[in-house]
Amino acid sequence: MKQFGDAIFPTLTPVDAVFNGAGDAPWHILIEADNYHALQLLQYIYPGKVDCIYIDPPYNTGARDWKYNNDYVDANDSWRHSKWLSFMERRLRLAKRLLKPDTGVLICTIDEHEVHHLGNLVEEILPETSRQLVTIVTNQKGVSQGRLSRVEEYALFCFSAEARVQSYFDDLLSPDRRDEKRFQTPRWEWLQRGGNNANPIARSGLFYPIFIDPKRKRIVQAGKPLPKGAEVPPLS
């Protein structure tokens, strides 16, 4: 058994393999390990070669269902955030060495407990990247967080200089040209307001027809509001 401070030399041991496909089909590896040790090992064969790294760290919320500091650092510990940052710093520095320096992208999810500390840490370790914080809606009803409820968490994106996001235009009318069956027909219901008050009775004067040119696939005109009590035909 190793004592604190003793050197640890991790190794990867093949456990099993699953073959699906043939020829030049892509292959994947699942590594089950402490993420720090796994990142250390990957340094030997993939430095500067990884396109994207996605990190879902502990949020340091004080939960006791995980081995990390959440279980043994008291919420009133004045060093609680510092210990979390030390934990993250070691892993982010390893991740930086793995990413492609020109097109690599790092994504890290987080919530409000450490989002500001993480932002400062990433700015220090990856100052050459373009950073953007994206909101992720996780519960539309909201989760109680003391005085206010929250509906979101966050994803912090760090783009290398030449990394780009492929844009995709969706006018909500034209069928998607991809192969997936569910994208082959327009989703007309996306044009209708949702919610308990989304009906002509509750929103008198705010329901009106929209005329679409099927050839040009453009909205050409909006009609007069429906009279109060009028039936709205189902969308198809």
pLDDT at 125: 97
d(CA 18, CA 12): 17
pLDDT at 172: 56
Mean pLDDT per block of 10 residues along the chain (236 residues) reads 72 82 79 86 92 88 56 68 90 96 96 92 96 90 80 94 80 55 59 68 76 83 79 59
Q: How far from the centroid of its chain's Cα atoms is residue 193's Cα?
A: 26
Q: What is the CATH number of domain 35-159?
A: 3.40.50.150
Q: How many CA atoms lie within 13 A of 164 on its CB side?
A: 4
**What is the pLDDT at residue 49?**
96
Please tell me what DSSP assigns to residue 224.
P
Q: Which amino acid is residue 143, in one-letter code? A: V
pLDDT the model gives residue 69: 47
Q: CA–CA separation, 173 vs 216, rounded Å?
A: 11
Global model pTM greater than 0.85: no
Q: According to the model, what pLDDT value does residue 215 have?
A: 83
Domain boundaries along the sequence of the chain: 35-159, 170-230
